Chains A and B, each alone.
Chain A
Amino acid sequence: MSRSAAKRRVEPPVTPELVASHGLTQEEYKKIVGTLGREPSYTELGVFSVMWSEHCSYKSSRLYLRHLPTEGAQVLHGPGENAGVVDIGDGLAAVFKMESHNHPSFIEPYQGAATGVGGILRDIFTMGARPIASLNSLRFGSLDHPRTSYLLSGVVAGIGGYGNCVGVPTVGGEVFFDECYNANILVNAFTLGIVKKKRIFTGVARGPGNPIIYIGSKTGRDGIHGATMASESFSDEKEQRRPTVQVGDPFTEKLLLEACLELMEKDYIVGIQDMGAAGLTSSSAEMAGRGGCGVEIDLARVPLREAGMTPYEILLSESQERMLLVARKGTEDEIRRIFDKWDLDAVVIGQVTEDQQFRSQFEGEEVTCIPVDLLTQGAPVYHRPTARPANHDQVQQLDLASLNEPADLTEAFKLILGSPNIASKEWIYRQYDHFVRSNTVVPPGADAAVVRIKGSEKGLALTADGNGRYCFLDPYVGGALAVAEAARNLACVGARPLGLTDCLNFGSPENPHVMWQFAQVIQGMRDACIALKVPVVSGNVSFYNETDGVPIYPTPTVGMVGMVAQIDRVVTSWFKSPGDVVVLLGRTREELGGSEYIKLLHGLVRGTPPWIDLRLEEAVQRCCLEAIERGLLHSAHDVSDGGLAVALAECCISGPEKPLGVRIDTHEMIRSDALLFSESQSRIVVSLEEKALSPLQEIASTHSVPIQVIGTVGGSRFIIEPLLQLVVEELRTIWCSGLAGRLK
């Protein structure tokens, strides 16, 4: 390290306070000094701070993530790349990933959500894939909280503002409201892309002497220490963090997307990676790490948006819409020509080296010289203490006998149907372009969205699911249910799962109760993935979703992608024809713990979530899939939040045409409230012509799935004998205005 550098740039001395303010512990700092054999400079301290942050290093989660199954014949790239890749036949592959942007979205909802979308899009096209569809999974506080509608409006506008402008349809998603998210909202963005199997690009640096090229937007001071912020809990000053939220420029993203895809048709690229969290630092260090080489970067060549930026700021900026690529030597001019066409910067800022060091210089002085391994593999891995909360038994106590059934079931039903968690989400998804690219066969509002693959008979189905309440009550079961529900949603449209990506949203890993939840959720997800044969191909962990020591409910969200073999066989959730018989696959039990009903009518988040028998779950899904593939079903709808009554109502009113009535008579000998609102798993409501009934019964019996004919479609009334009788138009009004009516 040159001494003369200090003459021109006065860097603060590295003091214990400075180390602490960079989020590094004393032990971590000792490890740095021990390995380097010297004290790091201020700039190097910044580099360690982001690379060793929870967000970039997965230091608390890594030991657990290893338990998730990642193998499958279809898996081409599992976790560790920019996104997961699965084979979909015909020489094509699907690339997908989900990422959180929780902390920034709370601080600045529009830009936080917008840049979350931008980041996940880059993760997809950096692998050479054209993004074809996005989803989002959102959690907000109670709509009674004064900030919630502001946050919701901002997040939705941000997602739309960015995704619409880039021309990628947002085809579905989920949103859930609960007080536990009042001070920590969740914004998880998912994108799916398609790539030719032979043209998949990865984030790797190879070949000493190959140029490192910076492409896209110029670097500004925005987002410095965003990764570190995402690795801390909120306290009262969170809104002062606004400057650490990046600002999105979707137009530049669109140009970058098109320019990159044009470039990727040529053979100029060795490796390419998005400059996401921790910007230039993490992209270059991670690429070098994967390639087993070093990098040498001249920071003075980085295109800057503002004058006077220091090496520290250039290395740590999280300005958006930037990518780093390693090119074959000699192709620089060709690359520049393509980026000129799109009016984007493409600047050689360094080269690949042999010495496995992360070197950067500024105005002739070396400002960092750190072994690449120490930044990537060398980050600490923690086996954090775990502890089951002492009051957990109490939380799981729910004596149904002591809970009175509502005096008026009709009023209870209307309340549930109109609750923001159950009601139509059209207010949200009509702000997203879900038609662009003209592939959307099943638009938002269904169990899973379906997009066609032009030029083939196939399609891809995609869904995002997860229930934090269930996970709070039993994190193991809740983890399994998130996976099971996602797979069930795919089954309901006729798709077989290819793989999943996840966002694991939790409180502080330094809290043993949170770590216990985390370990349990992973175990539950693992068991369900194995039983349902769905590999985990990518994902992201977001810890520190807590404010003043109060964590959110443990909230894993699962994004799952499935294959539709014949796109014209796709089934949707709403009833189609009067006279069709209505059949329930699976059984309803008295399971009210964690239900929307118990929360709304009794004000409780108590008990145990519905149990799941993974063998039955798989059998029910297979039964539904086979029936769809044989063309037997007119509709199929997963029974989930709000129970059977809500699922049936949605079958009547959620279609694009006039609502259809139904008459149901189930003869179940259970409590009325449980019959209507129990959230028992492994249930699907299907409708079909009467003559298709016996083939369906055969399929069900082959798979040992209990099935029951429960009613008939038709008329203008919604009747569940002898409990409910309403006019479907009234249901539609309640369901359509439940969320929209709260947001005006």
Chain B
Amino acid sequence: MVLGGAVGEAAMRWGVIVFPGSCDEQDVFDALKREMGQKVKLLWHKDQLAGRYDCLVLPGGFSYGDYLRCGAMARFSPIMRDVVQFAQSGGYVLGICNGFQILCEAGLLPGALVRNSGLQFVCQQVSLRVEETDTPFTATVKKGQLLKIPIKHGEGCYYADSVTLEHLRQKRQVLLRYVDAKGKASFAGNPNGSVDNIAGVCNETRNVVGLMPHPEDACSRLLGSEDGLKIFSSIADACAQRGKTP
């Protein structure tokens, strides 16, 4: 049975979906399990979604090699039917990088990710500004707060047409923007040419989020940043809240 949110459960359950070509599933798994002590399971893309989960993560990587448009193949993986149903019934879904691309291809998120404006793969730490905090993914951070989280992608340039963009702004669906050292969403602070410096968006019902930056690679002081934990723990908090309010 597929349930959106495990009402009344003490510890939340995370499912991390493994597509052929996923690369970051273990990083997400380790961040959640080792750094946060969460219950996590890796889920194979050919299987059905069995059991109860509070949040599903579609990790980064190169599903099907990205030989076609990024995410265009993975959206047809058997498990994606259940993911769509899970999302529609209110479950939390987080797509990171390739996972974001898959969610866009699956129609769960607006817009698309296209080739970086510099035409090269870009791997670097970036500064991100938190734009909205009334989502389960950003509830424990402050509006305007800066996060240091790395990006690593060749096709991370967010694109949406002007109508969609206007809609995103009106519904406050842009959660993170790339900014410069001064916290401004400037050209200099934009690593990949994303329209309006967009680094992460949510759907209208605010339970599905796509991020190009990788919070799982920013969960330890040793790795240079713990800001990624803020996103994961925000989700965990939201689930705990859900558990309390019937």
Q: A: which residues have CB within 8 A of B?
A: 157, 160-161, 164-167, 249-252, 254-255, 341-343, 429-441, 452, 454-455, 567-568, 656
Question: Is B65 touching A249 in the complex (CB atoms < 8 A)?
Answer: yes
The smallest beta-carbon distance between A293 and chain B, in angstroms, is: 36
| Cβ 8 A contact of B120, one of A157, A166, A567 | A157
The complex places the Cα of A161 from the Cα of B65 at a distance, in Å, of 10
Question: Is B222 touching A567 in the complex (CB atoms < 8 A)?
Answer: yes
The complex places the Cα of A568 from the Cα of B222 at a distance, in Å, of 7
Chain A residues positioned under 8 Å from B26 (CB to CB): 437
Question: Is B123 touching A431 in the complex (CB atoms < 8 A)?
Answer: yes
Question: Is A251 touching B64 in the complex (CB atoms < 8 A)?
Answer: yes
The smallest beta-carbon distance between A693 and chain B, in angstroms, is: 27
The answer to whether B216 has its CB under 8 Å from any CB of chain A is yes
The complex places the Cα of A645 from the Cα of B154 at a distance, in Å, of 36
Chain B residues positioned under 8 Å from A167 (CB to CB): 22-24, 61-62
The smallest beta-carbon distance between B39 and chain A, in angstroms, is: 18
Chain B residues positioned under 8 Å from A252 (CB to CB): 65
Question: Is A430 touching B222 in the complex (CB atoms < 8 A)?
Answer: no
Q: Give the residues from 186 to 241 in chain B that come closer than 8 angstroms, CB to CB, to chain A.
A: 214, 216-217, 219-220, 222-224
List, sorted by A's number, 6 A–B pairs whose CB atoms are closer than 8 Å: A157-B121, A164-B152, A437-B27, A438-B30, A438-B219, A438-B220
Closest 9 CB pairs of A and B: A251-B65, A167-B23, A438-B27, A435-B217, A165-B62, A433-B152, A431-B121, A438-B217, A435-B150
The smallest beta-carbon distance between A707 and chain B, in angstroms, is: 30
Question: Is A435 touching B222 in the complex (CB atoms < 8 A)?
Answer: no
Closest to A436 in B: B23
Question: Is A250 touching B223 in the complex (CB atoms < 8 A)?
Answer: no
Query: Known interface pairs A157-B120, A431-B122. Does A438 touch B66 (Cβ–Cβ under 8 Å)?
Result: no
The answer to whether B182 has its CB under 8 Å from any CB of chain A is no
The complex places the Cα of A157 from the Cα of B118 at a distance, in Å, of 13
Question: Is A430 touching B223 in the complex (CB atoms < 8 A)?
Answer: no
Question: Is A250 touching B34 in the complex (CB atoms < 8 A)?
Answer: no
The complex places the Cα of A431 from the Cα of B122 at a distance, in Å, of 5
Q: Give the residues from 59 to 91 in chain B that come closer than 8 angstroms, CB to CB, to chain A.
A: 60-62, 64-67
Interface residues on chain B, size class:
35 or more
The complex places the Cα of A438 from the Cα of B152 at a distance, in Å, of 12
The answer to whether B94 has its CB under 8 Å from any CB of chain A is no
The smallest beta-carbon distance between B57 and chain A, in angstroms, is: 14
The answer to whether B31 has its CB under 8 Å from any CB of chain A is yes
The complex places the Cα of A341 from the Cα of B26 at a distance, in Å, of 19
Question: Is B152 touching A436 in the complex (CB atoms < 8 A)?
Answer: yes
Q: Given A166-B23, A437-B26, 14 more contacts at CB 8 Å? A: A157-B121, A160-B121, A165-B65, A167-B62, A252-B65, A255-B21, A429-B123, A431-B121, A431-B122, A432-B123, A433-B123, A436-B217, A438-B217, A438-B223
Chain A residues positioned under 8 Å from B124 (CB to CB): 430
Closest to B222 in A: A441
The complex places the Cα of A656 from the Cα of B127 at a distance, in Å, of 13
Question: Is A250 touching B217 in the complex (CB atoms < 8 A)?
Answer: no
Query: Known interface pairs A343-B20, A436-B23, A568-B222. Does A430 touch B62 (Cβ–Cβ under 8 Å)?
Result: no
The complex places the Cα of A164 from the Cα of B23 at a distance, in Å, of 9
Chain B residues positioned under 8 Å from A165 (CB to CB): 21, 23, 62, 65-66
The answer to whether B125 has its CB under 8 Å from any CB of chain A is yes
Question: Is A251 touching B62 in the complex (CB atoms < 8 A)?
Answer: yes
Query: Known interface pairs A342-B20, A441-B222. Does A430 touch B123 (Cβ–Cβ under 8 Å)?
Result: yes
The smallest beta-carbon distance between A312 and chain B, in angstroms, is: 31
Closest to A441 in B: B222
The smallest beta-carbon distance between A273 and chain B, in angstroms, is: 24
The complex places the Cα of A437 from the Cα of B214 at a distance, in Å, of 11
Query: Known interface pairs A436-B27, A437-B26, A440-B223. Does A255 touch B123 (Cβ–Cβ under 8 Å)?
Result: no
| Cβ 8 A contact of A435, one of B22, B62, B65, B152 | B152
The complex places the Cα of A160 from the Cα of B121 at a distance, in Å, of 8
The complex places the Cα of A693 from the Cα of B26 at a distance, in Å, of 43
The complex places the Cα of A251 from the Cα of B154 at a distance, in Å, of 16
Question: Is B27 touching A164 in the complex (CB atoms < 8 A)?
Answer: no
Closest to A438 in B: B27
The smallest beta-carbon distance between B231 and chain A, in angstroms, is: 14
Chain B residues positioned under 8 Å from A429 (CB to CB): 123
The smallest beta-carbon distance between A442 and chain B, in angstroms, is: 10
Question: Is B65 touching A656 in the complex (CB atoms < 8 A)?
Answer: no
Query: Known interface pairs A164-B62, A435-B217. Does A656 touch B223 (Cβ–Cβ under 8 Å)?
Result: no
Contact with A along B89-127 (1 / 0, CB 8 A): 000000000000000000000000000000011111100
Chain A residues positioned under 8 Å from B120 (CB to CB): 157, 430-431
The smallest beta-carbon distance between A111 and chain B, in angstroms, is: 15
The complex places the Cα of A567 from the Cα of B223 at a distance, in Å, of 11
The complex places the Cα of A216 from the Cα of B46 at a distance, in Å, of 20
The complex places the Cα of A12 from the Cα of B100 at a distance, in Å, of 56
> Which of A436, A452, A567 has the most C-beta atoms of chain B within 10 angstroms of its own C-beta?
A436
The smallest beta-carbon distance between B98 and chain A, in angstroms, is: 10
Question: Is A656 touching B224 in the complex (CB atoms < 8 A)?
Answer: yes
Contact with A along B30-74 (1 / 0, CB 8 A): 110010000000000010000000000000111011110000000
The smallest beta-carbon distance between B86 and chain A, in angstroms, is: 23
Closest to B120 in A: A431
The smallest beta-carbon distance between B3 and chain A, in angstroms, is: 27
Closest to A443 in B: B224
The complex places the Cα of A165 from the Cα of B66 at a distance, in Å, of 9
Chain A residues positioned under 8 Å from B20 (CB to CB): 251, 254-255, 342-343
Chain B residues positioned under 8 Å from A656 (CB to CB): 125, 224
The smallest beta-carbon distance between B83 and chain A, in angstroms, is: 20
| Cβ 8 A contact of B62, one of A250, A432, A434, A440 | A250
Chain A residues positioned under 8 Å from B122 (CB to CB): 430-431
> Which of A165, A167, A438, A454 has the most C-beta atoms of chain B within 10 angstroms of its own C-beta?
A438
The smallest beta-carbon distance between B30 and chain A, in angstroms, is: 6
Chain A residues positioned under 8 Å from B121 (CB to CB): 157, 160-161, 164, 430-433
Chain A residues positioned under 8 Å from B214 (CB to CB): 435
| Cβ 8 A contact of B67, one of A164, A251, A455, A568 | A251
Closest to A567 in B: B222
> Which of A167, A434, A452 has the most C-beta atoms of chain B within 10 angstroms of its own C-beta?
A167
Chain B residues positioned under 8 Å from A433 (CB to CB): 121, 123, 152
Chain B residues positioned under 8 Å from A438 (CB to CB): 27, 30-31, 216-217, 219-220, 223
Chain B residues positioned under 8 Å from A568 (CB to CB): 222
The smallest beta-carbon distance between B81 and chain A, in angstroms, is: 19
The smallest beta-carbon distance between B199 and chain A, in angstroms, is: 16
The complex places the Cα of A250 from the Cα of B61 at a distance, in Å, of 12
Question: Is B222 touching A254 in the complex (CB atoms < 8 A)?
Answer: no
The smallest beta-carbon distance between B35 and chain A, in angstroms, is: 10
The complex places the Cα of A252 from the Cα of B224 at a distance, in Å, of 32
The smallest beta-carbon distance between A344 and chain B, in angstroms, is: 10
Question: Is A436 touching B62 in the complex (CB atoms < 8 A)?
Answer: no
Query: Known interface pairs A434-B123, A435-B150, A452-B222. Does A254 touch B62 (Cβ–Cβ under 8 Å)?
Result: yes
| Cβ 8 A contact of B21, one of A161, A251, A436, A455 | A251
The complex places the Cα of A55 from the Cα of B154 at a distance, in Å, of 35
The complex places the Cα of A250 from the Cα of B62 at a distance, in Å, of 10
The smallest beta-carbon distance between A134 and chain B, in angstroms, is: 13
Query: Known interface pairs A157-B120, A430-B124, A434-B123. Does A254 touch B219 (Cβ–Cβ under 8 Å)?
Result: no
The smallest beta-carbon distance between B79 and chain A, in angstroms, is: 14
The smallest beta-carbon distance between A443 and chain B, in angstroms, is: 8
